[in-house]
Amino acid sequence: MDFRSFFPIWNKLTAEEQNKIEGAITTRKVEKGTVLHDGSSDCTGLFLIKTGQLRAYILSEEGREVTIYRLFDRDVCLFSASCMMRSIQFDITIEAEKDTEVWVIPVKVYEGIMENSAPVANFTSELMASRLSEAMWLIEQILWKSLDKRVSAFLLEEAIIEESDKLKITHETIANHIGSHREVITRMLKYFQGEGMVKLSRGAIEITDKKKLQRLSD
Amino acid sequence: MDFRSFFPIWNKLTAEEQNKIEGAITTRKVEKGTVLHDGSSDCTGLFLIKTGQLRAYILSEEGREVTIYRLFDRDVCLFSASCMMRSIQFDITIEAEKDTEVWVIPVKVYEGIMENSAPVANFTSELMASRLSEAMWLIEQILWKSLDKRVSAFLLEEAIIEESDKLKITHETIANHIGSHREVITRMLKYFQGEGMVKLSRGAIEITDKKKLQRLSD
C-alpha cells in the first residue's frame, strides 16, 4: 500500500523526480462529508486516493449542486490543484462521500516536474481529457435525457458502487447529484415505487425490480 | 501569414520537431457550412485556423444540436484529432460557420512529437483545460440559466463576433446553438420584439435596445 504502486506513471519518472515527489507528499485522512477543496481560490495540491470516495460538484448562486464526477481508489484529482492550469476557469467543490484517505502532492512540486517531463504532462492531459468526457456526458444527459431516465440511471450506478440494492441515500442527496430539486425527486421516486421498481423507507431506497429500472434508464 | 507565426508554441519546438511539422502540414479551404470533422471515428488531424470560424457541437439521437465552443483565427482544434487521446469518449462535429482556411497537422506527426516533448504535451493539456472550462460553463448555463437569459446572451455574443447589431441568423440556427427547439426560440424572440429589444425580419434579427438585452442576460 505505498505511493509508488498507486501513482499510475511512477516508472516513467526519473529517479530525481521520484525523490522530489516522495520527499514532498503527505497523507490526509478525512471523514465522510468533509470538503477537501472549495472553489478555485485555494490550491490544495493533487490528491491521489488511497481508499474512499470523492465527489466533485459545482454550485449555483442559489446553492443548488450538480455532480460532475466521482473518484475512487487510485484515481487522481486534478482540480484541487487547478491553479496550476491557467485555462481552468471554473470553481469545483470536492467532498468526501465516504471516509477517505488521500496522498497530497504539493502543486509547486507537481508543476515543476510537469514543466519538463513529457510523461507527466501527457498523463495530466489524459486526466483532463477524461474529465472533459465526463462533462460532455453530463451535458448530453441534462439536455436530452428525461428526469426519470436520469434518476433510474443514478440509482443503478449507486447500486454498483455500493454493491447493494439497498441504498442509504436521501432524496436531497439525489437532487444534489443530478442538479434537481428534492420535491421533484420525491415525486419521481414515489412514481417508481408505484410501479414496483423501488421500495422507499426513511433514509433508504431499496431497488426491488432492477430489470424494470434498467429498461427505463436505457 | 505563415504557419510559424500562427502556431502558439513554435519557439518551444526543437529544430527537428519544427522540420517534421513543416514537412507534414497541408492547408485546407472550405466554404461556410462544410463539416470538417464528423464524430470520433475519423481522425482528420489538428486544425490551426488561419482565417474563418469553426463551430464544435454535439448531436442527440434525434438530431438536436448544441454548440460546445467556437474557434477563431489562431485557435487550435484538438478534437478533429481526438483519436490520439484514449480518454476522449465523445463524438463532436466540427463545421465551418464562415468560409474558413485551416492548416492541418497530421495526427501521427503531432502525436509522435507530443510523446517526447513536454512543451507540446503541456500545450495540449492547456487546450484540453480550456475546452473543459467551456463545457463547464455550458453545464451551468443549461442547468441554472433560464432560456430568456441564454437567448439574450447568445444574441449579444453574436453581435460581438459579427461586429454588427444586425444579425443574419435564423431561429433554427439559434436553437441549434443553445440546444433548444425552433418554435421555442421564435416565441422568445417575439417576446423580445414586444419588449423593444430586437426587431425581427426574414432571416435577420436586429438588436434595437442593447442595454435592456444586457440587463436581461446578466
Render pLDDT for B87-129 as a digit per residue (tens, 0 to 9): 888 889 999 999 999 999 999 999 999 999 999 999 999 999 9
3-class DSSP state of B85:
coil
Q: Is B139:A135 a contact under the CB 8 Å cutoff?
A: yes
Instruction: Specify the pLDDT at position A79.
Output: 86
Task: Dump pLDDT digits (tens) for B163-201.
Answer: 999 999 999 999 999 888 888 899 899 989 988 999 999
- Lookup: cell for A189: 421516486
Within 8 A by CB and 6+ apart from A109, the residues are A20, A21, A24
pLDDT at residue A41, rounded to an integer: 63
How far from chain centre, in Å, is Cα B190? 27
What is the rounded distance in angstroms from the CA atom of residue B17 to the CA atom of residue B114? 10
* pTM for the structure as a whole: 0.86
Q: How far is A37 from chain B (nearest CA, A)?
A: 17
- Nine-digit cell string for B141: 448555463
pLDDT tens-digit series, residues A30-86: 999 999 998 766 788 999 999 999 999 998 877 888 999 999 999 999 988 888 888
Q: Which of B79, B123, B132 best probes binding to A when mutated, by most A CB atoms within 10 angstroms? A: B132
The order of strands in the sheet holding B35-38 is B35-38, B93-96, B54-59, B65-71
Query: CA neighbours within 13 Å on the CB side: how many for B135?
Result: 26
For A52, the grid coordinates are 474512499
The predicted-structure confidence for A187-214, as pLDDT tens digits, reads as follows 899 989 988 999 999 889 999 999 999 9
ipTM, two decimals, is 0.85
- The pLDDT, as a whole number, for residue B40 is 62
Q: Give CA–CA dist A66/A178, Å, rounded.
A: 5
Chain A interface with B: residues with Cβ < 8 Å: 58, 60-62, 64, 66, 68, 85-90, 92, 114-118, 120-122, 124-133, 135-140, 142-144, 179
Greatest alpha-carbon span in chain B? 62
State pLDDT tens for residues B23-56: 999 999 999 999 999 876 678 899 999 999 999 9
Query: Which residue do the cell numbers 509508488 mark?
Result: A4
